[in-house]
Amino acid sequence: MTQRADVVRAEELAAYPEWTRALAWFAGLFALLVALFHDVAGAMVHTWWTNVTYNHGFFVLPVSLWLIWLRRDMLRRMTPRQEPLALLALAAMAGGWLIGRAGDVLAVEEVALVGMLVALFVFVFGRAVSRRLVFPLAFLFFMVPVGDALIAPLQDFTARFAVELLRWSGIPVFHDGIMIEIPNGLYEVAEACAGIRFLIANVVISALFAHLAYDSRWKFWLFLSIGFTLPIVANGFRAYGIILIGYWSDGKLAAGVDHLIYGWVFFSIVMIFLLMIGNSFADRRLGDFPEARAGRDAASRGWPWRSRTAVLAALVLAAGPAYAWTVMAPPEVTGSEAALPPPAVAGWSLGGVTDWRPSFPGADRTLLTGFEGPGQRRIELYVAHYRHQRQGAEVVYHSNRLDGAGWSRVESRTLDGLPEMPPAQADRLVRGSRQRLVLSWYWVGGRFTASPYQAKLYQSIATLLGVRPAAAVVALSVERPEDAAAFLQGAALDPWLESLSE
C-alpha cells in the first residue's frame, strides 16, 4: 500500500513542472482569445442575460470546471503534452469565425469561439488529458445560444399534436396552421408556447445527468434521446391540456397567469419524471467516477513543450481578426438616407395601403406602397433596403418580421412558377377574419433567393472578397398568387434595386 502511494506521489511530482507550464500558457492563450474576440464573447453573455431561454449559459462554464475538478486525482498523475495537430482544428475554427463574421451570423461566430477554446485546450494539454475530459469540453458548446430556428417547427408540431388529441376527445375543432378554434374559444400556438425553453433546459440537464449516471454509451445516448423527445411530446400535451381546461371552464381558466402557472407546474413534473426514469437504470451514484489510471502511455504521448509552437497558436488566433479588420472592414454609415422611390410598373398605378406593417428595424431605407392593376387587382409592395449589411442591420435577422403587429403567420411554404423570379417564400397571415398571402425574397448583390441560408452565403462570399454588396428584402402582400404574377410581369425589380445602390 505504501509502495503504491509512493509511486503515485512520484508521478505527481514528475508531472508538476509540466502542469505549471501548461496552465500558464493556457491562461495566456485564453486571455488572448478573449481579447481578440471580446465582441463575440460579450454578445453571448448579453444573450444569456436578456433572453430567459439561454439563462443556463451562465452555469455551463462553472459546471464544466466542476466536472474537471472531480477528475483532479487522475489528472495529477498525467503529464500534459503539447499537441501540434490541434492547430489544424484551431485554424478550422478560426476560419469558421471568419465566415460567420463575413455573413454577420453571430451563432456561427459563437460556435467557432467555443471551438477555438476547446482546440486551445487540446493543443496545450494534449490528447491523453483531453480524451479523459471529452464531456466537460463538449459541454462547453451549450454556452452557445442557438435554437431559435426550431421555434416554427415546434409551433407546427404542437398545434397538430394538440388538434389530434382534441379530435380524439370528441371536441369539435378547426385547425388552421398554428390557430386552433373550438366552440368557445380561439387559441394560437404562439412562439412562447413552442416549448423551446423547456426543450433546451431538458437537453442540457439530460446530458449532464447522463454523464454523471452512466458508464455505458448506449445508456448515455438513450437517455439523451429521451431528454430531447419527451419535452416536445410533453409540450403537445400541455397545449392540449390548456385548451381542454379552457373548453371545460368556458374560457375562465388556463388563461393569462393561470396559463403560465399551469405550464411551469406541468414542465416541473415532466422534468422530475424524466430524472426518475434516468435514475432507474443508472450505473452509479451521481459524481462517482470509476477509477482510471493514467498509465505510462499517457505520459509519453504527444510532444514536449515548445514555446515557438505556442506562439504559432497565438498567430493562428490573430490571423482571422487581422483579415477582418483590413479586408472586410465595413464602410462608414453616413447620415440619413432619402426615402425609397417606388418602382414604375407597366400597367399598374400607385394605390393605398392596409394595416399590414412589416418591421425591419435595421434597414437604411424602407418602402411600403400599394399598387392597383388591371382587373381590379391590388397588391402591396414592401422593400427594406440596406446600403451594406452589418451586425444588426441584415436582411436575415431575428428581429425582422413580415407579419407585423396584429398579424399572425399560420402557414409557410415555397411558391414557384412566378415570372422573372425564383421560388418565393409564401407566408399566409391572418388577422381576425382577414387573410393575406405575403411572398418574399432576399436580394443580395444582384441575386434573388428565398432561402435565408443562401442569402447569408452570398453575403459571406462577397464580404470575404472585400466587397460589401447592397441588399434588400422584397415582399408582396396579395390576396391571390396570380395577382403577384401579374405584377411581376410588368415590374423590373432587379434593375430598380440596382439603381438604388448606385
pLDDT tens track for 432-470: 778 889 999 999 988 999 999 999 999 998 888 888 888
| Top-confidence residue, 300 or 359 | 359
For residues 237-258, average pLDDT = 75
- For residue 484, is pLDDT > 90? no
* Residue type at position 46: H
Task: Give 260's pLDDT tier (boundaries 50, 70, 90).
Answer: low
| Top-confidence residue, 278 or 261 | 278
For residues 249-256, average pLDDT = 65
- For residue 5, is pLDDT > 60? no
Q: Which helix (H) or strand (E) holds 96?
A: helix 86-102
Spatial separation of the C-alpha atoms in residues 8 and 168, rounded to whole Å: 66
Domain spans in the chain, listed from the N-terminal domain onward: 2-132+292-326, 149-280, 349-500
Task: Give 206's pLDDT tier (boundaries 50, 70, 90).
Answer: very high
Give 3: exposed, middle or buried? Use CB within 10 Å, 0-12, 13-18, 19+: exposed
For residues 110-124, average pLDDT = 96
Contact predicate 369/331, CB 8 Å: no
- Average pLDDT of the chain is 85
**Beta 174-176 vs 377-386: how paired, if at all?**
unpaired
CB proximity list for 445: less than 8 A, separation 6 or greater: 458, 459, 462, 467, 469, 470, 471
Task: Give 9's pLDDT tier (boundaries 50, 70, 90).
Answer: low
| Top-confidence residue, 119 or 12 | 119
Pick from 294, 353, 375: nearest CA to 475:
353
Helix/strand/coil for 177: coil
Predicted confidence at residue 64, as pLDDT, reads: 96
Q: What is the dihedral of CA 70, 75, 76, 79, to 10 degrees?
A: -170
Cα angle for residues 19, 21, 24 (degrees, 5° grid): 105
Q: What is the CA radius of gyration of the chain?
A: 28
Spatial separation of the C-alpha atoms in residues 381 and 353, rounded to whole Å: 9
Give the phi and the psi of residue 230 in degrees, each rounded to 5. -60, -45
Residue appearing with cell numbers 402557414: 411
| Top-confidence residue, 327 or 121 | 121
Give the phi and the psi of residue 359 in degrees, each rounded to 5. -130, 115
Task: Give 294's pLDDT tier (boundaries 50, 70, 90).
Answer: very low
Residue 388 neighbours by CB distance under 10 Å: 18
- For residue 377, is pLDDT > 50? yes
- For residue 125, is pLDDT > 50? yes
Q: Cell numbers for 322, please give them.
A: 487581422
Task: Give 261's pLDDT tier (boundaries 50, 70, 90).
Answer: low
Spatial separation of the C-alpha atoms in residues 446 and 218, rounded to whole Å: 50
Max mean pLDDT range (72-81, 231-240, 289-298): 231-240
Residue 457 neighbours by CB distance under 10 Å: 16
- For residue 7, is pLDDT > 50? no
488-499 pLDDT per residue, tens = 888 888 888 888
Give the HSE-up count for residue 318: Cα atoms under 13 Å, Cβ half-sphere. Answer: 9
Q: How far is CA 472 from CA 337, 443, 491, in A?
A: 15, 5, 16
- For residue 301, is pLDDT > 50? no
Helix/strand/coil for 472: strand
- For residue 209, is pLDDT > 90? yes
315-364 pLDDT per residue, tens = 999 998 888 888 777 666 554 556 788 888 888 889 888 889 999 988 98
Cα angle for residues 320, 321, 325 (degrees, 5° grid): 125
Predicted confidence at residue 152, as pLDDT, reads: 87
Q: What percent of the chain has pLDDT over 90?
A: 40
Helix/strand/coil for 474: strand
Predicted confidence at residue 451, as pLDDT, reads: 93
| Helix, strand, coil % in the chain, rounded to nearest 5 | 55, 15, 30
Contact predicate 227/206, CB 8 Å: yes
Per the DSSP assignment, residues forming a β-bridge with 176 are 179
Q: What percent of the chain has pLDDT over 70?
A: 88
Max mean pLDDT range (69-78, 204-213, 260-269): 204-213
Predicted confidence at residue 485, as pLDDT, reads: 87
Residue appearing with cell numbers 487522475: 74
Cα angle for residues 171, 172, 173 (degrees, 5° grid): 110
Task: Give 182's pLDDT tier (boundaries 50, 70, 90).
Answer: confident
Max mean pLDDT range (190-199, 221-230, 383-392, 477-486): 221-230
Q: How far is CA 126 from CA 34, 105, 307, 310, 458, in A?
A: 21, 31, 15, 13, 38
Query: DSSP letters of 294-326?
Result: -HHHHHHSSB---HHHHHHHHHHHHHHHHHHHH
Spatial separation of the C-alpha atoms in residues 408 and 427, rounded to whole Å: 10
**Beta 434-444 vs 471-478: how paired, if at all?**
antiparallel
- For residue 295, is pLDDT > 60? no
